[in-house]
Amino acid sequence: MKSIMTALFETPQFGGTEHFFKKVVSDILKDRNSSKIHRDFIQIVTEDSSTTDKSEDTEAPQGSSRFHSRALTEDEIAVNSLIFFSAGFDTTSISVSFSSYCLARYPDIQNKLIQEIDNTLGKEIPTHDVVMKMEYLDLFVSEVLRLYAPSTRIFREAREDVSINSWLIPKDADVTVCVYALHRDPEYWPDPETFDPERFTEENKAKRHPYAYLPFGIGPRICVGMRLALLETKMAIVYMLQNFKFVTCDETEIPVIFEKGFLLRAENGIKLKVTQR
């Protein structure tokens, strides 16, 4: 495991970050012994450190009891922190980009959102509690994530034989759920290509199967950064719309052509015109 961690830190995209993340993790771990810290990512991955073996030599294949009983080393915690940070930044960036695209394409919806922001905040600095209570903003972001969820698919492994509509999924089979297709299934989403935030009112959500909407996955392995991603996306939208409006231009690609890959990206970027309010 140590060689894998070292190799990751030495890759070009992470060059120069090794000492920063190692120092941050080391300082946090030392501080755990002298102060009361709220439950967070570091706490979760270290909570069993006092009762488990942290030796590098105890590595074992995934699935074995030995593997699950070994605590993470400091280097492993640092690398996982780096991955947690970079993955959350990338996917949130995608969500903000497509949010801007939808604002430009649907000016009536943008105006309605601006009205909510102006009535709620005006030019005041947005706070967590205020932003997370903004109803139309929540509907808007939910609809953006339906059509443009950053992760196009999620993966699971069957823990036992399961029969669904006469189809047998055997134990240990790899199962892929295509989120992109699910979010455009007319069985759950009438006129699926139409951008309509009202799909996510409490009344409309109650009529729909809860597993029809999976931008962050579902169940015990739901995205650990979901709340942070939603907060970051909403904060960015509020900050931008307090000062600017988005408008399509000659270079705006409609519809967007997507890259091929696991993450949903615009192949040619998203080009918009920004005007000051």
Residues annotated within a binding site for heme: 223
Backbone angles phi, psi at 122, to 5 degrees: 65, -125
Side-chain-side CA neighbours of residue 141 (13 Å)? 25
CA distance from start to end of the chain = 53
CB atoms within 10 A of CB 261: 9
DSSP 182-201: HTT-TTTSSSTTS--GGGGS
Total number of residues shown for the chain = 277
- The amino acid that residue 109 corresponds to is I
**DSSP class of residue 151?**
B
The answer to whether 154 touches 177, Cβ cutoff 8 Å, is yes
Whether 239 and 250 have beta carbons less than 8 Å apart is answered as no
Residues 45 and 74: beta-carbon distance below 8 Å: no
- Which amino acid type is present at position 270? I
Please, are residues 76 and 19 in contact by the beta-carbon 8 Å criterion?
no
Count CB neighbours of 230 within 10 A.
20
Which residues are annotated as part of the binding site? 223
What whole-number distance in Å separates Cα of residue 49 and Cα of residue 70? Answer: 8
Find the helix or strand (DSSP H, E) in which 55 lies: none
Q: Which residues, at least 6 apart from 159, have a Cβ–Cβ distance to it below 8 Å?
A: 171
